Amino acid sequence: MRRWSSSSPPRSRPVRPSATGRSTRRFSCRSEYWPGGSLWEADAIACRLSRDARSTFWRTGDAEPRMIQWLSWGKENFIRACEMVQYERGTKQRYAQGPIDPAKVEEGLRRFAAGAALLDAELSRRDWLLDDGLSYADFRMATFLPGNEQVARLPLGDYPALARWYRRIGALDAWRDPFAGLHAPELPPLPA
């Protein structure tokens, strides 16, 4: 499988938000409303929508570098670790892409332990990743945790502050059922 890098552009272009007919001027990421063209990456879109809504969800000013620090660290460390395990135990099985690779799962669990330990220490001192409250960084960090108990089975319980943080996120109406309305095939049973 070919991975995207700055020297090799993706083979497919992002779908234009206006193609669905549901895009609105207020929350559109279409090129005619955003200098430099349309946006297609999740963090950039979250930033844009937060700005359009005049929300503090995406921090600005003095708090923005700390939020970006968490986004960058999380993507390379915690999120990558969660994704490695989720892919092997879930996605690969769902789409019959081969057997689970125990070495990849082990590597993901090792990376998870390192990232979870750091997050647990940080979250033992506050409720959210940023001192001033819930932000996009919290949601981004938690992207691979929904359905964890059934699929990836990452040991969140070994990290009490991290587990409490995720329970707080799970208590939010906007997060409780992130896949509501989506029609995805059921996962096949996971090997014992």
pLDDT, tens only, 157-176: 999 999 999 999 999 987 88
Residues 6+ apart with CB under 8 A from 138: 128, 129, 130, 165, 169
> 97 and 38, same structural domain?
no
67 plus 46 within the same structural domain: no
The DSSP call for residue 101 is: -
Q: Dig out the tokens for 3 from the structure.
A: 């991975």
- The whole-number pLDDT of residue 4 equals 35
Collapse the DSSP code of 5 into the 3-class scheme (helix H, G, I; strand E, B; otherwise coil) and give the result: strand
Q: Whats the size of the chain, residue-wise?
A: 192
Range of the domain at 169: 61-175
Do 38 and 123 fall into the same domain?
Answer: no
Q: Please give the Cα distance from 96 to 103 (Å, whole number).
A: 18
* Residue 188, in any domain of the structure: no
pLDDT on residue 54:
92
Same domain, 44 and 85: no
Q: Identify the bridge partners of residue 130 per DSSP, sorted by sequence position.
A: 133
Q: What is the CATH number of the domain that holds 147?
A: 1.20.1050.10
Q: In this predicted structure, what is the pLDDT of residue 157?
A: 95
Same domain, 33 and 114: no
Q: CA 100 from chain center: how many Å?
A: 22
pLDDT at 192: 57
pLDDT along the chain (192 residues), means of 10: 37 38 44 68 89 92 95 96 94 88 97 98 98 95 87 94 96 78 70 56
Number of domains in the chain: 2
Which two tokens mark 95?
Answer: 């789409």
What's the confidence (pLDDT) of residue 24? 40
